[in-house]
Amino acid sequence: MVHRLGVDIGGTFTDFALVDDETGALSVHKQLTTPHDPSECVLTGLAALLERTGVAIGDIAAVAHGTTLVTNAVIERQGAPTGMLVTEGFRDVLDIAMERRFDLFDLRLEFAEPVVPRALRAEISERVMFDGRLETALDEAEVEAATTRLVEEHGIEALAICFLHSYADPSHEERAREIVARRFPDLRVTTSSEVLPFMREYERWSTTTVNAYVRPLTDRYLDRLETGLGDMGFTGRLLVMTSSGGMVTPAIARRFPARLIESGPAAGALMAAFLGERIGEDNLLSFDMGGTTAKGALIRDGRPLRRYEFEVAREHDFKQGSGLPLRIPVIDMIEIGAGGGSIAEVDDRNLLAVGPRSAGADPGPACYGQGGERATLTDANLALGYLVPDAFLGGRMTLDVAAAERAIGADVAATLDVDTTRAAWGIHEVINEDVARAFRVHASEIGFDYRRCAMIAFGGSGPAHAIRVARKLRIPKVVFPVGAGVMSAIGLLTTPISYATLRSGRTRLDELDQAGLDAGFAPVETQARELLVEAGVAAGDIETERRLDMRFYGQGHEVEVPLPDDLAIADLTKQFHDTYAKVFAATPLDAAIEIVNWKIEASGPRPDFADRYRPFSGARPGDEVLRTVQAYRDDSLDFGDCPVIDRYTLAQGRAIEGPALIQEDEATTVLGPGERIEVDGLGNLIATLAPIGDAS
């Protein structure tokens, strides 16, 4: 038998999904992450899952992996000492940044510090013009001398080579890399023209320096993981998820680790789109809430929205503009510090705040019994009766109710002079409102109407909050899929190997013919195809998708225009006008048009499992009601009887009306009074809420 494994490392839990590719049978597992070395929990969790299922390690053909390692390394500044070679006169570009205040009236503005300090940036005599013409030749002796000083005096382990117009002609960067590699073969070197041949130097250099900064750490982590898997007897292929939702080999991940930021959440969004396709819902909100964060991704016409910009390590109230910009292909999502481990406290205004700080996996919430003393969202949900203490993780972990109540009393209730139950309900509702508010802002920025879509809720904490969040957003339907608690890990198994990239090249549309259009895409398409072939995809199985960033001549920013396979150059003007009108609702028809960036996404075939995915094989025999507990009711503001329903016993068509807790091993769905779910043919729990216009 051929099996594949999906592993998603989160801030609190690591999720596993093991699938039999021949039958589509699925087994899942969840355990606490080991923050000091995430590979440790991957290996121990894999061993536990194999022992439980009886599958041999030799029967696993591939391991698909998503991780927050790179994100955490940048946020916590745990990368390697990194140097930078930069065009003479441009040493301070990383500090000058965009010269943009993200809040005009806040005098406390804080910006993320560059990962390469000014003292570790060396200026090099060289200059290529914006059109590729040579102005100043590269001073090769200066390259070697500057690198030697950075290595010997500052002990750098990685080097970013960032020259001004290398997107137009990368030869100076490539020659500098050759010089450095000859003198320091163990130094990890990243060039901006390889990472991002993009014309705006600040974003290109920020991306390149972050990529260099995390390369040594990524190398060491993947080495430990590959060695550990090999010692267990694994002989299959290891694949790593990127932020754009594609799979790459460890070799590519080592070269471009910046692309691994948001790799786990991307898998969840793709899985939500896949499930939407299965249930006939093209427009969706993917709501993923785990132990550390809550993520919302929008799916329009069956596809997650994507973009080529992302900001990591926001320093000031998580506001856009206060972090480090990365120009990488990512699935467009909003992420906030709201999860099961989010710490609750009373702020300076005597108001209750929950998150963004998290107790993580070590020590974790107070109720985990691992030394944590701060009140968290999980503690609040336990105190409210929404979690069953001896059934957490399928009974493999017992939660301490008394510890949760002590923490809530000390951190919140005593300060606000309320009882513990009221404090716990406040924590629960603050998170619901924080998530809803973040999603509203995100939707309004791109013109998405939540009231005419469905929500797919997953993650370890998502099903406990989804219906209340949906009511605040006036979403009419919520879908709780099978295996909701580990859905990102399952999503890793449905994703093909792919690679997305771009290059800058300003070209007037009225000066371009069909041959010129194809020639513009040729370099990026060749690079993407070569990387996929290197990853083992047959050349004949590779499909490519073309996009252009276009604008009216003289504009400062552009819109992304998708290109159908059969689009002729004569139709490109109309395609741009139609796209522009969708964004801005008007089109100045007489203005000249120019192309700014050329984008390619190359993909291999989707895994067979995607077509065989059958998570629901019918109801399991057994008692439907496991027990009755006391759970908090928001209608009576008091505790009342609440049945605990075994999800695995629910047959197609079975309907449950709240209050009720629908319990499975990795997550618990909370139904309030009068709320109703029904099981569909795929085993999903479907909650239909009040229609638009009715009172929530």
* pLDDT per residue as tens digits for the range 366-384: 999 999 999 999 999 999 9
Judged against a pLDDT cut of 80, whether residue 322 lies above it is answered with no
Judged against a pLDDT cut of 70, whether residue 317 lies above it is answered with no
Q: Which secondary-structure segment (H or E) carries 574?
A: helix 572-584
Judged against a pLDDT cut of 80, whether residue 106 lies above it is answered with no
Q: Which one of 161-165, 269-273, 331-335, 663-667 scores highest in mean pLDDT?
A: 161-165
Average pLDDT over residues 93-97: 90
First to last CA, the chain: 50
Judged against a pLDDT cut of 80, whether residue 622 lies above it is answered with yes
Q: Decide: 464 and 642 in contact? Cβ < 8 Å.
A: no
Q: What is the C-alpha separation between 264 and 430, in angstroms, rounded?
A: 25
Judged against a pLDDT cut of 70, whether residue 491 lies above it is answered with yes
The answer to whether residue 298 is domain-embedded is: no
The answer to whether residue 285 is domain-embedded is: no
Q: Decide: 476 and 691 in contact? Cβ < 8 Å.
A: yes
Of 211, 230, 251, the residue at which a domain comes to its end is 211
Report the SS3 class of residue 168.
coil
Question: Which residue did the predictor score with more confidence, 355 or 271?
Answer: 271
Of 546, 577, 605, the residue at which a domain comes to its end is 605
Q: What is the CATH number of the domain that holds 105?
A: 3.40.1360
Judged against a pLDDT cut of 90, whether residue 91 lies above it is answered with yes
Closest CA to 599 of 530, 503, 499, 527: 503
Report the SS3 class of residue 495.
coil
Judged against a pLDDT cut of 70, whether residue 584 lies above it is answered with yes
- Whether 96 and 205 share a structural domain: yes
* pLDDT per residue as tens digits for the range 326-336: 888 888 888 88
- Strands (E) in 459-592, as ranges, are 477-480, 498-508, 543-552, 559-563
Average pLDDT over residues 430-456: 88
- Whether 515 and 564 share a structural domain: yes
Instruction: Report the interhelical angle of 38-53 vs 201-232 (nearest 10°).
Output: 40
- Whether 86 and 44 share a structural domain: no
* pLDDT per residue as tens digits for the range 386-424: 999 999 988 889 999 999 999 999 999 999 999 999 999
The answer to whether residue 449 is domain-embedded is: no
Of 211, 236, 251, the residue at which a domain comes to its end is 211
Closest CA to 452 of 473, 467, 468, 430: 473
- Whether 188 and 233 share a structural domain: no
Cα within 13 Å of Cα(584), Cβ side: 14
Q: Residue 369: which region, alpha, beta or left (left: phi > 0; alpha: psi -120 to 50)?
A: left
* Radius of gyration of the chain measured on its C-alpha atoms: 26
* pLDDT per residue as tens digits for the range 43-90: 999 999 999 999 999 999 999 999 877 877 887 788 999 999 999 999
Q: What is the C-alpha separation between 187 and 189, in angstroms, rounded?
A: 6
Q: Decide: 513 and 623 in contact? Cβ < 8 Å.
A: no
Per-residue confidence at 581, pLDDT binned at 50, 70, 90?
confident
Average pLDDT over residues 323-350: 87
Least confident piece of the model among 97-111, 112-126, 141-155, 234-248: 97-111
Closest CA to 324 of 415, 258, 391: 258
Enclosing domain of residue 681:
625-688
Average pLDDT over residues 618-624: 86
pLDDT for 20 equals 86
- Phi then psi for residue 49, to 5 deg, are -65, -40
- Whether 150 and 224 share a structural domain: no
Mean pLDDT of the chain: 89
* pLDDT per residue as tens digits for the range 529-538: 988 888 888 9
* pLDDT per residue as tens digits for the range 242-275: 988 888 889 989 999 999 987 878 889 989 999 9
- Whether 186 and 133 share a structural domain: yes
- Whether 84 and 204 share a structural domain: yes
The answer to whether residue 231 is domain-embedded is: yes
Judged against a pLDDT cut of 70, whether residue 690 lies above it is answered with no
- Whether 226 and 162 share a structural domain: no
Judged against a pLDDT cut of 60, whether residue 695 lies above it is answered with no
- Whether 59 and 158 share a structural domain: no
Judged against a pLDDT cut of 70, whether residue 693 lies above it is answered with no
Average pLDDT over residues 671-682: 92
Question: Which residue did the predictor score with more confidence, 144 or 101?
Answer: 144
pLDDT for 694 equals 46
pLDDT for 610 equals 65
Per-residue confidence at 696, pLDDT binned at 50, 70, 90?
very low
Q: What is the C-alpha separation between 69 and 114, in angstroms, rounded?
A: 19
The answer to whether residue 230 is domain-embedded is: yes
* pLDDT per residue as tens digits for the range 1-15: 689 999 998 888 899
The answer to whether residue 181 is domain-embedded is: yes
- Whether 231 and 199 share a structural domain: no
- Whether 200 and 86 share a structural domain: yes
pLDDT for 692 equals 44
Cα within 13 Å of Cα(190), Cβ side: 31
| Domains of the chain: total | 4
* pLDDT > 90: percent of the chain: 59
Judged against a pLDDT cut of 80, whether residue 101 lies above it is answered with no
The DSSP code for 317 is T
Q: What is the C-alpha separation between 72 and 223, in angstroms, rounded?
A: 18
The answer to whether residue 16 is domain-embedded is: yes
Judged against a pLDDT cut of 60, whether residue 214 lies above it is answered with yes
Instruction: Report the interhelical angle of 462-473 vs 420-446 (nearest 10°).
Output: 60
Average pLDDT over residues 304-311: 82
Q: What is the C-alpha separation between 114 and 363, in angstroms, rounded?
A: 30
The answer to whether residue 344 is domain-embedded is: no
- Whether 161 and 203 share a structural domain: yes
